């Protein structure tokens, strides 16, 4: 007996092969922990730039090329890998990708030339390009229908890892030198073991995925033109979020030091408070989207943060801290909702959509940091926050998002 259209729309193909009432929490927690390890390793690279600049006598242009190499492999490869694994599932590709990261780490610890640094950056970036779309797919498969919760649990691990990487670099690698980078190979090895076990769980659920995907696409009524328009709108919202987040993560410490006269240590403490708020927002956004509808969460997360970003450049130190906490929580809740909404728009293409949005968010964050850096050089660091304050106004575009079952106010329980 075929499933009703409402059930199919509310349970995209990656959840059709298991009981939708059951969420595989051990798999989700394992993915989140591996995400923590992956993003911790990623964040080591920029944290090591001062050490590498001194050791290899690099100029800023050469450092920028290292960043570009990492970003090109980590961002541009993601949608291609996601598209490939949508058609030909590779249950152990996550472990292979992490093996690439492991090799990149070991090469980085022993590199004797600039070209070796570039190769190490490319290997770490390639491992990340495999990890994000495939992990997002498995998180959806393990969600038991709670797609937002699953994505939030998965993504919060990455937030924590990104915050931990610079601290570990400062306290472990910087005092001991380049060779101590190899110690973090232990983290990659742990991730490989966990991802191999997760891959075995995924392999048991591959049969029937393509059949379920065809069934869902046959029931999905949104036209191609409206789907593309909705994806473009979601992309613009990711652009807004990523650019504003880059303004905080890259330049907030300099802003506090210049405007309020804080020392570097105190400014770093304020940055960690913001990063903790981002982690909290990431964890909150998905489950709230499951309950009230992802379209509402997107509205609130992007446009709703506008009053706080407009106030930030005019606030004293106390209110600056309070406002950045609110901004971090509210803005970070958007990405899980955006990603799941996009996955619902294109059923059966979870890997491609995840790769596109993770890659685009990562690329926009890097581009935002570069553009805002040039802005700060020419207009001053405070001007960056006066300009970026208007970015959340792009949230008005959320008006054009369609109402679809499972992602909007019309959500129905299977």
**pLDDT of 203-252, one tens digit each?**
887 775 655 555 555 455 567 788 888 888 888 888 888 888 877 877 78
Q: What is the mean pLDDT of residues 31-41?
A: 93
CB atoms within 10 A of CB 201: 16
Whole-number CA gyration radius for the chain? 21
CB 47 within 8 A of CB 313: no
Q: Token pair 């797919």 is at which residue? A: 137
**Global confidence as pTM:** 0.74
| CATH architecture under which domain 222-400 falls | Up-down Bundle (1.20)
- The third-level CATH classification (topology) of the domain covering 18-206 is Growth Hormone; Chain: A; (1.20.1250)
Cα distance between residue 284 and residue 329, in whole Å? 8
Q: Pick the more confident residue, 51 or 38.
A: 38
CB 368 within 8 A of CB 251: no
Q: What is the largest CA-CA distance in the chain?
A: 69
Encoded tokens for 63: 């450092």
Q: What is the pLDDT of residues 92-121, one digit of tens each?
A: 999 999 999 999 999 999 999 999 999 999
CB atoms within 10 A of CB 224: 7
Listed by start position, the domains of the chain span: 18-206, 222-400
Q: What are phi and psi of 98, to 5 degrees?
A: -65, -30
Share of residues in the chain with pLDDT > 90 (%) = 22
Same CATH fold assignment for domains 18-206 and 222-400: yes
Cα distance between residue 245 and residue 229, in whole Å? 24
CB 143 within 8 A of CB 286: no
């Amino acid at each position: 007996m075929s499933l009703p259209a409402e059930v199919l729309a509310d349970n995209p193909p990656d959840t059709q092969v298991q009981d939708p009432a059951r969420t595989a929490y051990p798999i989700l927690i394992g993915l989140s922990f591996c995400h923590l390890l992956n993003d911790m390793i990623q964040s080591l690279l920029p944290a090591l730039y001062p050490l590498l600049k001194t050791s290899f006598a690099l100029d800023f242009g050469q450092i920028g090329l290292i960043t570009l190499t990492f970003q090109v492999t980590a961002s541009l490869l993601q949608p291609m890998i996601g598209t490939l694994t949508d058609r030909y599932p590779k249950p152990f590709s996550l472990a292979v990708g992490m093996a690439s990261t492991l090799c990149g780490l070991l090469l980085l610890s022993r590199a004797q030339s600039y070209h070796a640094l570039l190769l190490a950056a490319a290997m770490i970036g390639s491992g990340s390009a495999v990890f994000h779309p495939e992990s997002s797919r498995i998180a959806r498969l393990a969600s038991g229908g709670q797609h937002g919760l699953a994505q939030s649990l998965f993504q919060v691990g990455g937030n924590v890892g990104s915050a931990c990487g610079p601290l570990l670099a400062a306290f472990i690698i910087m005092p001991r030198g380049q060779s101590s980078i190899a110690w973090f190979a232990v983290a990659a090895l742990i991730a490989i073991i966990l991802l191999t076990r997760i891959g075995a769980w995924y392999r048991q659920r591959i049969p029937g995925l393509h059949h379920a995907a065809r069934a869902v696409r046959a029931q999905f009524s949104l036209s191609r033109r409206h789907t593309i328009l909705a994806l473009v709108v979601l992309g613009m919202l990711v652009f807004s979020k990523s650019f504003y987040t880059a303004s905080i993560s890259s330049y907030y410490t300099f802003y506090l030091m210049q405007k309020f006269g804080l020392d570097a240590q105190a400014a770093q403490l304020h940055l960690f408070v913001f990063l903790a708020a981002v982690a909290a927002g990431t964890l909150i956004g998905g489950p709230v989207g499951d309950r009230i509808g992802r379209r509402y969460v997107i509205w609130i997360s992007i446009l709703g943060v506008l009053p706080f970003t407009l106030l930030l450049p005019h606030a004293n130190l106390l209110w600056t801290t309070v406002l950045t906490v609110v901004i971090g929580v509210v803005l970070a809740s958007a990405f899980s909702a955006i990603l799941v909404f996009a996955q619902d728009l294109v059923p059966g293409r979870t890997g491609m959509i995840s790769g596109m949005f993770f890659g685009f968010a990562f690329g926009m964050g890097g581009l935002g940091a570069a553009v805002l850096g040039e802005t700060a050089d020419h207009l001053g660091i405070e001007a960056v926050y006066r300009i970026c304050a208007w970015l959340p106004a792009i949230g008005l575009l959320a008006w054009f998002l369609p109402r679809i079952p499972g992602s909007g106010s019309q959500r129905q329980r299977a």
